Amino acid sequence: MWHLSHPLGAYFSKTWDRFFHYRFAFLFVSLLVPYLLHPMMKTEFQGILALDLAFSLVLFMGVFALSDRNHIATTALVVVILAQVLTWSSRAVSSHGLIVAGILFNMFYLIYAAGILFRHVIKSRSPTFHTIFASLCIYLLLGYIWAFVFSFLEDMAPGSFKFNPDLFLELPKGRHLYSHLYYFMYFSFTTQTTLGFGDILPASAWSRMLTSMEAVLGQLYLVVMMTYLIGLHITERVKTKET
């Protein structure tokens, strides 16, 4: 093992510090990857495999982002490993129990990650590069969390959502964890941003309630977070002028 005084050891240490410095930016980019990859896939198998791999990247980048400089976020890593085992097992074994457990573990991890990032933002005393990217990651994580909520609801109560047959000609037929998740990712972000194209519709009391709740909470997050960051910026400028 290279000692830090060794030139190569010092180089790796410096590279690690630089990589760690941009950990929230890397997490933000990884959160965009599943969305960007899926349209390029030509078959359902390719699409599910792409989501498997891309979401694995999201989960492990989340562990990295939640870690401090010298210690890995152990709790996050344990949950990610369990989520990955369930996800890949559900591909190999046709088990409804594994699919439900995988959805729940992934959802729990995303909620946990969003909570840790939110605490990081709240503890910040100035709107730094880290604070801004952490707040952006939270917004994307919220979209993913709701996608898993909708996926879980559809699994528990099939028909909770209606897809326009003219716009979704080849819906996935499988019961793998990610069979419908991409479509609920799309629905979640169009709901969170209040676009509401109408190509996917909530068709039950629960789905309508959850959909409207996401829209309201998504807008509240934007307003409150922007107000908070602007407040930090103003406070920092006032302190700078006073000194």
For the chain, give the number of residues.
Answer: 243
Encoded amino acid at 178, one letter: Y
Q: What is the pLDDT of residues 105-148, one digit of tens each?
A: 999 999 999 999 999 999 888 888 889 999 999 999 999 999 99
Q: What is the pLDDT of residues 49-103, one digit of tens each?
A: 888 888 899 999 999 898 876 677 888 989 999 988 888 887 777 778 888 888 8
| Separation in Å, CA 4 to CA 19, 23, 173 | 17, 22, 53
**Across 155-175, average pLDDT:** 78
Domain residue limits, the chain: 7-242
pTM of the model: 0.87
DSSP string, the chain: ---TTSHHHHHHHHHHHHHHHTHHHHHHHHHHHHHHHGGG--SHHHHHHHHHHHHHHHHHHHHHHHS-SS---HHHHHHHHHHHHHHHHHHHS--HHHHHHHHHHHHHHHHHHHHHHHHHHHH-SS--HHHHHHHHHHHHHHHHHHHHHHHHHHHHSTTSEEE-TTT-SS-----STTTTHHHHHHHHHHHHTT---SSEEE-SHHHHHHHHHHHHHHHHHHHHHHHHHHHHHHHHHHHHHH-
Q: What is the pLDDT of residues 19-48, one digit of tens each?
A: 788 899 999 999 999 888 877 877 777 777
Q: What is the pLDDT of residue 7?
A: 61
